[in-house]
Chain A
Amino acid sequence: MALSRDEIREGLSDILEEVAGVNPDDVADGKSFTDDLDVDSLAMVEVVVAAEEKFGVKIPDDEVANLKTVGDAVSYIEKG
């Protein structure tokens, strides 16, 4: 069964907290990874690898550049 957007965001939030120390309260669709959540490019690599594992999706490197906000990532994972 496909996950809802809320479930994906929650899973993403857990990853962000684990690898980058992001406060779960700060995670919302409109937030930019780099500008709002202070997730730098190296931390983003860890987030992507953990998200691939958790959600069973592939996020190619050239796709990562398009994932500017939490909402972008949630939508990408939602599409599978």
Chain B
Amino acid sequence: MTGLGATTPLGGDVASTWEALVAGRSGVHQLAHAWAQELPCRIAAELAVEPSEVLPRVRLRRLDRSEQIALVAAQQAWDDAGLSDDLDKERLGVVFGSGIGGALTLLAQDDILEESGARKVSPFTVPMLMPNGPAAVVGLEFGAQAGVHAPTSACATSAEAISWAADMIRAGRADVVVAGGAEAVIGGLPMAGFSSMKAMSTRNDDPEHASRPWDRDRDGFVMGEGSGALILERREHAEARGARIYAVVAGSGLTSDGYDIVQPDPECRGGGRAMRAAIKQAGIDPKDVGHVNAHATSTPVGDMAEVKGIKREVGDHVVLTATKSMTGHLLGGAGAVESIAAILAIVEGVIPPTINLENPDPALDLDVAANEARKVELNAALNTAFGFGGHNAALLFTKP
């Protein structure tokens, strides 16, 4: 792992996002948009820096918001890794996902179709709404020719992307892979859909305290938008060019629940198997995993099921955190941004806090970095991500 990039509700890059995470700042606000005012959930974590502040105007016109932020994050990661254009592009891959894709483009163009007819529909509609759009845009930007892949597994998407990227390198198909995910669907229909499932918080009058994983008074997740990108690079390739190595993807696990389309398995069996697989592949003792950046979305059932899985597979020594308490739930972008947080926790020796954990759920019997960042020397950290559809991903990062 030689490069990191992100644009999130907490900052327009990794440094500002990390600073806000460690400081325990919430990115959740009330939505001022007219379309939001009649929704059951009128709060969300919108981007701190609009893509229009970073990308040229004509570029923006032809990209869905999810593609715009994928590009922003990927470019940062690319620059951070110090990669140059003379890289062998046939050995460069991309694995970049989105949970939902260009839903806002689809809806906007459908409005144009209804109001003005087919001829007014943008010729860029299809490349903007396709769920592989972020991957394709990132691939084109860097000229990747080893394969451009777009896993789609709801909220596990970008963690799954990192796992696939590591596999691509292990299988010898690429030397460098740009991995990550992006999601930008803060809009009426997606929010109404999640609200109808009763999955979203309705703490509309108190947005900064709405995302409260493991707290007794949690009442659902808060939607966020954002993108995270990571450069995975074959060790010899990185060492040969003297690149800084943040951490190693020592293991990953991908499993499926076979349980329910949206309900988490209350015993976290599938999630637990993913954690076990990641730890096994890394060949380390579970006791050496010092930290888990948990999926914990602030929903009543999911948060506690995951705790059971972590306790069973990793142990009761581990320090948890849920950075969604600050970023909201970035859906397809969550796994990548949270992996970056887990990696920086190893690099910096600091675990960002879980804010709003005022009255822990009585069943929470693991140590959480509650409300204040925790200084801890870490050799290995795990990131978990679970998605609607019963997708489970676990990534184990270790010191280089």
A77 to B119, CA, bound (A): 19
Tell me, rounded to whole Å, the shortest Cβ–Cβ distance linking A17 to chain B. Answer: 9
State whether A19 touches B58 (Cβ < 8 A): yes
State whether B58 touches A49 (Cβ < 8 A): no
Contacts of A19 on B, CB cut-off 8 Å?
58, 61
Contacts of A21 on B, CB cut-off 8 Å?
56-58
Contacts of A45 on B, CB cut-off 8 Å?
123
In the complex, number of A-B residue pairs with CB atoms less than 8 Å apart:
15
- Please report which residues of chain A, range 3-53, place their CB below 8 angstroms from some CB of chain B when the two chains form the complex: 19-21, 42-43, 45-46, 49
A49: contacting residue among B57, B61, B119, B124, CB under 8 A: B119
Contacts of B56 on A, CB cut-off 8 Å?
21
State whether A46 touches B58 (Cβ < 8 A): no
Q: Name which residue of chain A comes closest to B124, CB basis.
A: A42
A10 to B56, CA, bound (A): 23
Contacts of A46 on B, CB cut-off 8 Å?
122-124
**Chain A: number of interface residues, binned into ranges:** under 10
A43 to B56, CA, bound (A): 16
- Please report which residues of chain B, range 192-247, place their CB below 8 angstroms from some CB of chain A when the two chains form the complex: none
A19 to B57, CA, bound (A): 9
**Counting CB contacts under 8 A, is B120 at the interface?**
yes
Contacts of B58 on A, CB cut-off 8 Å?
19-21
Tell me, rounded to whole Å, the shortest Cβ–Cβ distance linking B128 to chain A. Answer: 11
Q: Name which residue of chain A comes closest to B119, CB basis.
A: A49
Tell me, rounded to whole Å, the shortest Cβ–Cβ distance linking A45 to chain B. Answer: 4
A66 to B124, CA, bound (A): 22
Tell me, rounded to whole Å, the shortest Cβ–Cβ distance linking A22 to chain B. Answer: 9
A45 to B118, CA, bound (A): 12
A46 to B56, CA, bound (A): 18
A42 to B57, CA, bound (A): 17
Pick the most buried of B61, B120, B123, B124: most chain A CB atoms within 10 A of its CB.
B123
A20 to B58, CA, bound (A): 6
Chain B 37-63 per-residue mask, 1 if CB under 8 angstroms from chain A, else 0: 000000000000000000011100100
A49 to B120, CA, bound (A): 7
Chain B 346-358 per-residue mask, 1 if CB under 8 angstroms from chain A, else 0: 0000000000000
Contacts of A42 on B, CB cut-off 8 Å?
123-124
Residues on B close to A: CB < 8 A? 56-58, 61, 119-120, 122-124
Residues on A close to B: CB < 8 A? 19-21, 42-43, 45-46, 49
List 5 contacting pairs A-B, 8 Å CB cutoff, sorted by A. A19-B58, A19-B61, A42-B123, A43-B123, A49-B119
